[in-house]
Amino acid sequence: MSSSSVTSQFTIGDLRGNPRRIRKERGMRLLLLVAAATSIVISALIVYTLFKEAWHFLVLLSDESGLGALIDDGANPGWYPRNGRFDLPTIVIGTVLVSLVSIVVAAPLGLGAAVFLSEYASPRTRKWLKPILEVLAGVPSVVFGFFALRVLGPDLIQPLFNTSQTTSLLVTGVAIGFLVTPLMASISEDALRAVPTSLREVSTGLGARKSNTVIKVVLPAAVSGIVAALIISVSRAVGETMVAALASGRLGQSPRTLDVRDPGLTMTAAMAQVATGSDQVVGSGPVFQSLFFVGALLFLMTLALNMIANRIVGRFRNKY
Amino acid sequence: MAVTASIRDSSSNAVRAALTGGKRDVRGMLFALTLLLCLLGALLVLTVLMWDVIAQAIPVFQKRSTGFLTNDLNSSPDKAGVSQGIWGSLMIAMFVVLLAFPVGIAAGVYLEEYAKPSRFNAFIRLNIRNLAGVPSVVYGILGLVVFVQGLDWLTGGRSVISAGITLAILVLPIIIITTAESVSAVPSGLREAGYGVGGTRWETTRDHVLPYAAPGILTGTMLAVARALGEAAPLLLIGAITGRLASVQGQSLVEKMQGKFTTMPIVVYGWANEVNKPGEITGLTFEQLNSAAIVVLLVMVLALNAAAILLRNRFERNRQG
């Protein structure tokens, strides 16, 4: 071929590349997009099933005993599904108390561990301690439930706080606290390590002690990340099921209580115990259906907490 | 290197002593000590837990030896074993590998390599972050309504198929997020080289980006399997068996997968609620049996976790060096 014929035969089509490769590229792109869009389908399914069945529960309840059963203002309020008494404050208060106890345990332990790992530990110590903490994060929650039932309740909490029985909201809260400590530590450590070294250097250069630098410079700079870690830990504690089902001390029904030393019921424990109880037939009245209503409420609570935490994390990422 | 380090340490100590007038910073040392105690406190819980469980489990393995691993669930502590729990957990792991791995990795790759910054893609990202925070028991409701009731002709109702698909969905956000993180850590020079020699986006991703991101993706997937193996709450809703579960002889695999099932965490939950009466022959209690079951569960979960963490640390080091 001579050079003059090349210029005449060279068309725009030659620049487009191999059609088979282009088709393959488009196919792969579509396949990957479908995979990513699966997550939206899953979310839609979760929201649809939760709220459809929760609505069904409300309809059943208003037919049987009226919606007033959701807030019991009698003399002895409580969550007694079999008797048609669905006192929401009982299980919501149970969940709030357990989450408060767990954050009281997890916040100092987790934050302290995070500050030590990020500010004090030598790289070599850190290399050993961090993986062990991460392994702790992998212990299944049902194991913590059994541990709370067998060791924490009878050997630690009962003698220390003089509770009436070995299981209580307090035992559940402490066990969940230990369960979320590694999470708290790991997110706070990320926040602390995101603080630029120059801030520490300036503080040290001005003559501040190490402890003053940590307390007055590093921690305030990382405060939004630490708050996010707290919120995410609370959200995890609110949704934790197995420990609550094993160690809270009630089976499917409970009077309302404000004392953490009493046995009680959380939202998650109420769900798990309805599901494993004898009324496992769907459509058998509001008892089983209450599962979905409580689930929907739990979903909304954790979603709100996670959205707030995400927003805060996004802000501290942008700052440095 | 050790020599320079010791010189650096001694000189920095000398400077510090001169600056503080030789006084020790007692308050600072107390502060550091408190922090160390926080960390050790968290680790102490792990130690006590392990110690307690292992001490309780030793007699079970001594007296029952392999019978504990090969027997079915039973109401007598002399006969009860965890074989069905191990089988159920392995099936769950298989579903996670077959369903969640391909979809999760594909979605993670899409988000980092293909997705343009559009509103739709931002929505997908936000959605995945929120999915990761949904409590596991809520996924149980999804499994109950969609797979147990809606698709019972396929799953057989309260079966290991329903459980496996539900847990695959549960860990999907973890796999997507870790895949996206390891893909975004791939140096852009690798991609540019791929495009520069005329590769399409998919060819560059397949031949350059994915091999480089593979260790990070593998770590994420191992953590996801470990999470699925330890999960119990959604399975309670799906209807895993906590009491007695007789094996039926001569079932095909499909029939077995559509039948009643249990997994290791559910066995632990069921036995934690058992009456604590010693068995007549072996003298073992369900409490001891349960500790042994926890040892089996922890071996499965923590081995995967530890392997994943070691793998990640090794590659982080290699990349830095």
The C-alpha of A203 sits at a distance from chain B's nearest C-alpha, in angstroms, of 15
DSSP assignment of A137-152: HTS-HHHHHHHIIIII
Which pLDDT tens digit goes with each residue over B243-298? 677 666 667 777 778 888 889 999 999 888 877 777 777 778 888 888 999 999 99
Q: Where are the domains of chain A?
A: 68-319
Average pLDDT, chain B: 85
Tens of pLDDT, residues A19-43: 888 889 899 999 999 999 999 999 9
Confidence bin at B318 (pLDDT 50/70/90): low
Query: Does a structural domain hold residue B9?
Result: no
Q: Is B231 within a domain?
A: yes
Q: Which of residues 187-246 of B touch A (CB under 8 A)?
A: 198, 200-203, 223, 226-227, 229-233, 236-237, 239, 242
In a domain, B285, yes or no: yes
Interface contact B110-A238, CB threshold 8 A: no
Give the chain B residue whose CA is nearest to the CA of A136.
B46
Note down the domain range covering B132: 67-320
Question: Could you tell me if residue B309 is inside a domain?
Answer: yes
What CATH number is associated with residue B186? 1.10.3720.10
- DSSP-derived secondary structure letter, A86: E
Phi and psi torsions of A169, nearest 5°: -60, -35
Residue B273 lies in a domain: yes
| ipTM confidence score | 0.86
Q: What is the CATH number of domain A68-319?
A: 1.10.3720.10
Contact assignment for B124 to A40 by CB distance below 8 Å: yes
**Structure pTM?**
0.87
**Are B128 and B177 a contacting pair, CB within 8 Å?**
yes
Does B52 touch chain A if contact means CB atoms closer than 8 Å? Answer: yes
Return all residues near B293 (Cβ < 8 A) that are at least 6 apart.
B82, B85, B264, B267, B268, B271
Average pLDDT of chain A to the nearest whole number: 85
In a domain, B42, yes or no: no
Q: What digits encode the pLDDT tens for the residues A61-113?
A: 888 777 777 777 777 788 887 777 888 888 899 999 999 999 999 999 999 99
Rounded to an integer, what distance in angstroms lies between the CA atom of residue A241 and that of residue B235? 11
Q: What is the pLDDT of residues B105-164, one digit of tens each?
A: 999 999 999 988 888 888 898 899 899 989 999 999 999 999 988 888 888 778 889 999
Is B153 a domain residue?
A: yes
What count of other Cβ atoms lies within 10 Å of the Cβ of residue B185? 13
Tens of pLDDT, residues A124-165: 888 888 888 888 788 899 999 999 888 888 888 888 887 778
Q: Which amino acid is at A175?
A: A
Residues of B in contact with A212 (CB under 8 A): 28
What's the number of domains chain B is made of?
1
Structural domain contains residue B72: yes
What residues contact residue B162 under an 8 Å CB cut-off, 6+ apart? B143, B147, B148, B151, B155, B156, B238
Question: What is the least distance, in Å, from the CA of B236 to any CA of chain A?
Answer: 6
Set of chain A residues whose Cβ sits within 8 Å of the Cβ of B233: 141, 241-242, 245, 268, 272
Residue from B39, B50, B105 to probe the interface with A (highest A Cβ count within 10 Å): B39
